[in-house]
Amino acid sequence: MNRKTNLLAAAVLAMACSTAACAQQNNPNANRFMEEKLNLTEAWDKVFTQSDKVEHTKITFHNRYGITLAADLYAPKNATGKLPAVAVSGPFGAVKEQASGLYAQTLAERGFLTIAFDPSFTGESGGQPRYVASPDINTEDFCAAVDYLSSRDDVDPGRIGILGICGWGGMAVNAAAVDTRIKATVAATMYDMSRVTANGYFDAADSADARHELRQQLNEQRTEDYRNGVYALAGGVADTLPADAPQFVKDYHAYYKTKRGYHPRSLNSNGGWNKTSSLSFLNMPLLAYSGEIRSAVLLIHGEKAHSRYFSEDTRKKLKGDNKELLIIPGANHTDLYDNMEKIPFDKIAEFYGKYLR
């Protein structure tokens, strides 16, 4: 092939590439992300009663890692115009049919458009392998919910908040530190999952030796999981408890293992998380930049909750007069899952009303 033929071939190739690029640029769907088709139940299978004051639909959205998430959307009946919106998730190891759905539905009754979503790898959401938690991906799940809400015609993108319960309270605060679109954050009965993983409850195992021993156990489990071709589960809340079980474990049992809160897709109600999920929390601390959050944050915790110290210490990191810690007299950790006499919905609605305007 002579030089003239080579030049002609190169010109044709360049023209073809240019034409393809032009076609892609003019096709708005050329780079459109194709969400996974999820198997969503249409039956009302929540652990709480359906409200006649809101419209309920199932929706999906995706995060930056390509995982498709499932959510329940709750909208006030007969609402018009662009609404303030709140994305809700948690507790850690729960599904949207439990506490997060109750929060979302109740806030919708008060005029907010809300979604309660299953985090990546859990519930009806996508992601493989199943039953994995990640400080990065699960923080991203909240930001992805903001992506979705911002794109809706019935949502004011400048009036979006988030609400996390238990371990997802810590994720919500973490999301607020990175996502400036989030105007108000509520963390109810929060856990700092990095801290409790690395230090144990009440920081009782806060030592390099204890963490090294845990790392050894988890990495041995990695090898075993790979060899077996299956990820071993850590187990959810036990079916039966010893008489000397800590009170907070009894409180978890009273929610997750009884008619009050049991759900067949809930990790805590059944087999629990993958054992090796703890590895990333050991190595990637949450809340590192919480002191730089400029938007409003409301931390809510029960006076008698074993986890109260997580909110109290997080509050010390937060700066500005738009940050608040509310302690609920007499409430334990799980009271703020579903106890309508303890959950301060008036205060939560007032907080969002003030900062989502």
- Report which secondary-structure segment, H or E, holds 254: helix 247-256
Q: Angle of helix 345-355 relative to helix 99-109, nearest 10 degrees?
A: 60
For the cut 90, the answer to whether the pLDDT of residue 11 exceeds it is: no
Give the burial string for 142-178 (b: 16+ CB within 10 Å, else e).
Answer: bbbbbebbeebeebbeebbbbbbbbbbbbbbbbbbbe
Q: What is the mean pLDDT of residues 284-292?
A: 97
If you count them, how many residues does the chain have?
357
Kindly list the strands in the beta sheet with 113-117, ordered across the sheet, starting from the edge strand earlier in the chain: 54-62, 68-76, 113-117, 83-89, 155-165, 184-188, 296-302, 323-328
- Reported as a single tens digit per residue, the pLDDT across 207-239 is 999 999 999 999 999 999 999 999 999 999 999
Query: According to the model, what pLDDT value does residue 16 have?
Result: 46
Least Cα distance to 343 among 297, 296, 302, 298 occurs for 302
113-117 vs 68-76, strand pairing mode: antiparallel
The two structure tokens encoding residue 140: 């991203």
Side chain identity at 67, as an amino acid letter?
I
For the cut 70, the answer to whether the pLDDT of residue 262 exceeds it is: yes
The two structure tokens encoding residue 61: 């959205």
Kindly report the backbone phi and psi dihedral angles of residue 155, in degrees, each rounded to the nearest multiple of 5, phi listed first. Answer: -120, 135
Query: According to the model, what pLDDT value does residue 278 have?
Result: 94
For the cut 60, the answer to whether the pLDDT of residue 9 exceeds it is: no
For the cut 70, the answer to whether the pLDDT of residue 28 exceeds it is: no
Among the listed ranges 12-16, 47-51, 115-119, 159-163, which one has the minimum average pLDDT value?
Answer: 12-16
Q: What is the mean pLDDT of residues 58-71?
A: 97
N-to-C CA span, the chain: 70
For the cut 80, the answer to whether the pLDDT of residue 76 exceeds it is: yes
- Reported as a single tens digit per residue, the pLDDT across 79-94 is 999 999 999 999 999 9
For the chain, what percent of residues have pLDDT higher than 90? 90
Query: According to the model, what pLDDT value does residue 88 have?
Result: 99
275 near 218, Cβ under 8 Å? Answer: yes
How far apart are alpha carbons 223 and 229 in whole angstroms?
Answer: 10
Mean pLDDT of the chain: 93
Query: According to the model, what pLDDT value does residue 34 have?
Result: 81
How wide is the angle at C-alpha 74 spanned by C-alphas 36 and 144, nearest 5°? 45
Side chain identity at 130, as an amino acid letter?
R
> Is the CATH number of domain 54-192+286-355 3.30.479.30?
no
The two structure tokens encoding residue 215: 């790392």
For the cut 90, the answer to whether the pLDDT of residue 161 exceeds it is: yes
Bridge partner list, 160: 85
For the cut 60, the answer to whether the pLDDT of residue 13 exceeds it is: no
For the cut 80, the answer to whether the pLDDT of residue 254 exceeds it is: yes
Cα–Cα distance list, 10 to 23, 261, 327 (Å) = 20, 66, 71
For the cut 80, the answer to whether the pLDDT of residue 292 exceeds it is: yes
Of the CA atoms within 13 Å of residue 208, those in its CB half-sphere come to 0
Query: According to the model, what pLDDT value does residue 21 have?
Result: 44
Confidence of residue 2 (pLDDT cuts 50, 70, 90): low
Q: What is the mean pLDDT of residues 147-174?
A: 98
Side chain identity at 273, as an amino acid letter?
W
**Within 10 Å of residue 184's Cβ, how many Cβ atoms?**
25
Query: According to the model, what pLDDT value does residue 32 have?
Result: 65
